[in-house]
Amino acid sequence: MENQKNDIVRIYSDTEININLIQDELSNVGIPSIIKNEFQSAVMAGFGALPNAVDLYVNATDFDKASKIIKDLNKES
């Protein structure tokens, strides 16, 4: 995969609670991330959506390091 420095990539999708926990762990090691919460957006607009429609995005340059952290977190639970 050829990535550019400023590319943002989706790294994980799950429930809002799990995404927030993962985002906190990534932040603790200095990896910035963005949450896109389709569930919350749909509810606010009066539509339905699946509660696991929450995506976490990171910079492409942080993808490998973030993937390892997420994998380790999933092993723990």
For residue range 22-60, what is the model confidence (pLDDT) as tens digits?
999 999 999 999 999 876 655 555 666 656 678 999 999
**Are residues 49 and 38 in contact, defined by beta-carbon separation less than 8 angstroms?**
yes
In a domain, 4, yes or no: no
Boundaries of domain holding 15:
9-76
In a domain, 2, yes or no: no
CA distance 49 to 71: 26
Kindly report the pTM of this predicted structure.
0.77
Length of the chain measured in residues: 77
Residue 41: CATH number of its domain = 3.30.70
Q: Structurally, how many domains does the chain consist of?
A: 1
